[in-house]
């Protein structure tokens, strides 16, 4: 096959001229710190998600971390989470001095298993952090109702799930807290950025304090006022604030969300069509019912090496030589060096997660991937499977 000239970057963001103009406007405004554009960004976010409260921070990691801190989770506590996630979901638990308890996932979807969640609940369990993997809503109603019964806090890692809904209700709004990411590969990006939502005003107030050093009023409202105001330190807070420069990049992307989702949906269908019936290639399940919307954040296939005649890593390498960037979401976290050694996990402990871990491969899927790009990826996958070396 003819190799494309330029490399197809995995997770390349779509930045419009309007986004660029807004950033330039901010640069010229005389204020690039946390200020009016962050407030505007929070307002747009609340509108989108249908949340009364949204606290902008500089990453999803910061948002998750604040949630655990506000819930006063610490040494002696356990937090249940999924091993099929980005390391930060569990790192923040360790930062609090608490113990992450990984439970197995559903083989088909990679989302946390409700049965395994129930089995893992013990006297030290304080919270659960599920992930809506790839943009597919996890069994959130079951998880929320069990969490309520057992008095366990629910913090949703909605980093993949900005557009995800169940009966019109957004991912991130079912729990005590929801955390979102605006990292460059996510569907709305501010370069770096995150959002914490909650229905609890007292928690939100604490999050607003903790995101900026724990001091009584943010820098912008101090500079804005004529009179000098002293500030008070209420808590030893963090440096987790989002800047106007970052918010400016994201402000206009809210208007594009629906259009971009429709574009990714079309590419998703294109992949499904082009890759069906390939031996050893399992496509993402189409469990889509009328009730839920999948954010189409990641198109992840599973490669069964015994049937395909090639491993995931080999296919990934071959695609790279054909100028295609791919991703792995994710290698099971309980077997990463730190977690394996520190919490004594062994291969075989979480079989579904490990099965996915060695087989999953995400193909390029963002709104600036063209249907020709997808056609090329499909051709490259087929070519590789037919020309094994």
59 part of the interface to ligand PLP, by CB under 6 A:
yes
In this structure, how many other beta carbons lie within 10 angstroms of the beta carbon of residue 300? Answer: 25
Stretch binding ligand PLP (CB under 6 A), from 55-63, 65-73, 210-218, 271-279:
55-63
The two beta strands, 299-303 and 281-282, are antiparallel
Here the tokens at position 187 are 């569907």
Stretch binding ligand PLP (CB under 6 A), from 84-92, 119-127, 223-231, 348-356:
84-92
| Nearest distance from C-beta of residue 278 to ligand PLP, angstroms | 27
Q: With CB under 6 A, what is the number of residues at the site for ligand PLP? A: 14
CA gap 217, 219 in Å, rounded: 7
65 part of the interface to ligand PLP, by CB under 6 A:
no
Query: In the window 85-104, what residues touch ligand PLP (CB under 6 A)?
Result: 85-86, 88-89
Choosing from 37, 186, 206, 260, which is the catalytic residue?
Answer: 186
- Nearest to ligand PLP of 128, 159 (CB atom): 159
Identify the CA nearest to 194 among candidates 57, 288, 327, 74: 57
60 part of the interface to ligand PLP, by CB under 6 A:
yes
| Nearest distance from C-beta of residue 253 to ligand PLP, angstroms | 15
| Nearest distance from C-beta of residue 180 to ligand PLP, angstroms | 8
Q: Burial, 39: exposed, middle or buried (Cβ in 10 Å; 0-12, 13-18, 19+)?
A: middle
267 part of the interface to ligand PLP, by CB under 6 A:
no
Query: Is omega for the bond preceding 375 within 30 degrees of 0, making it cis?
Result: no
- Nearest to ligand PLP of 278, 332 (CB atom): 332
* Cβ–Cβ under 8 Å, residues 105 and 352: yes
Query: Rg of the Cα trace of the chain?
Result: 22
Among 51, 61, 263, 357, binds ligand PLP (CB under 6 A): 61
The percent of the chain in helix, strand and coil, each rounded to the nearest 5, is 40, 15, 45
Half-sphere exposure of 26 (CA within 13 A, CB side): 23
Among 135, 194, 250, 284, binds ligand PLP (CB under 6 A): 194
CA gap 179, 198 in Å, rounded: 9
334 part of the interface to ligand PLP, by CB under 6 A:
no
Among 67, 131, 171, 251, binds ligand PLP (CB under 6 A): 131
Known catalytic residue at 186: yes
35 part of the interface to ligand PLP, by CB under 6 A:
no
| Nearest distance from C-beta of residue 328 to ligand PLP, angstroms | 12
- Nearest to ligand PLP of 60, 267 (CB atom): 60
Reduced to 3 states (helix: H, G, I; strand: E, B; else coil), residue 201 is helix
| Nearest distance from C-beta of residue 183 to ligand PLP, angstroms | 4
| Integer CA distances (angstroms), 371 to 109, 257, 266, 315, 361, in order | 25, 19, 8, 21, 19
* Cβ–Cβ under 8 Å, residues 188 and 367: no
292 strand-pairing partners: 166
CA gap 176, 48 in Å, rounded: 18
Query: In the window 141-170, what residues touch ligand PLP (CB under 6 A)?
Result: 157, 159-160
- Nearest to ligand PLP of 139, 384 (CB atom): 139
- Nearest to ligand PLP of 242, 322 (CB atom): 242
What does DSSP assign to residue 388? -
Give the interface with ligand PLP as residue ranges (CB under 6 A). 59-61, 85-86, 88-89, 131, 157, 159-160, 181, 183, 194
Which residues carry out catalysis? 186
């Amino acid at each position: 096959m003819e190799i494309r000239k330029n490399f197809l970057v995995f997770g390349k963001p779509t930045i419009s001229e309007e986004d660029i103009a807004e950033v330039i406007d901010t640069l010229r405004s005389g204020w690039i710190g946390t200020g009016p554009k962050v407030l505007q960004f929070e307002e747009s976010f609340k509108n989108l998600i249908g949340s009364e409260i949204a606290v902008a921070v500089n990453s999803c990691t910061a948002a998750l971390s604040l949630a655990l801190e506000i819930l006063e989770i610490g040494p002696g506590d356990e937090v249940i989470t999924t091993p099929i996630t980005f390391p930060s979901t569990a790192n923040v638990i360790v930062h609090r001095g608490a113990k992450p308890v990984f439970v197995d996932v559903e083989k088909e979807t990679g989302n946390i298993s409700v049965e395994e969640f129930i089995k893992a609940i013990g006297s030290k369990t304080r919270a659960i952090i599920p992930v809506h993997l790839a943009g597919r809503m996890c069994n959130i109603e079951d998880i929320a109702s069990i969490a309520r019964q057992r008095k366990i806090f629910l913090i949703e890692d909605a980093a993949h799930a900005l557009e995800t809904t169940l009966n019109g209700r957004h991912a991130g709004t079912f729990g005590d807290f929801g955390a979102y990411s605006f990292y460059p590969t996510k569907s709305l990006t501010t370069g770096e950025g995150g959002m914490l939502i909650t229905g609890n005003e007292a928690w939100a107030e604490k999050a607003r304090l903790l995101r900026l050093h724990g001091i009584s009023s943010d820098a912008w409202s101090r500079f804005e006022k004529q009179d000098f105001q002293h500030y008070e330190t209420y808590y030893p807070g963090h440096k987790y604030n989002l800047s106007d420069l970052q918010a400016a990049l994201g402000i206009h992307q809210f208007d594009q969300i629906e259009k971009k989702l429709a574009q990714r949906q079309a590419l998703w269908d294109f992949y499904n069509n082009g890759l069906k019936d390939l031996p050893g290639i399992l496509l993402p399940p189409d469990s889509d019912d009328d009730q839920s919307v999948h954010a189409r954040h990641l198109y992840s296939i599973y490669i069964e090496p015994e049937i395909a005649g090639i491993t995931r890593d080999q296919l990934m390498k071959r695609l790279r030589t054909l100028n295609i960037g791919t991703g792995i979401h994710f290698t099971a976290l309980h077997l990463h060096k730190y977690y394996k050694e520190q919490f004594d996990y062994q291969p075989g402990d979480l079989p579904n997660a490990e099965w996915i871990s060695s087989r999953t491969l995400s193909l390029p899927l963002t709104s600036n991937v063209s249907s020709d790009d997808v056609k090329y990826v499909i051709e490259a996958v087929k070519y590789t499977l037919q020309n094994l070396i």
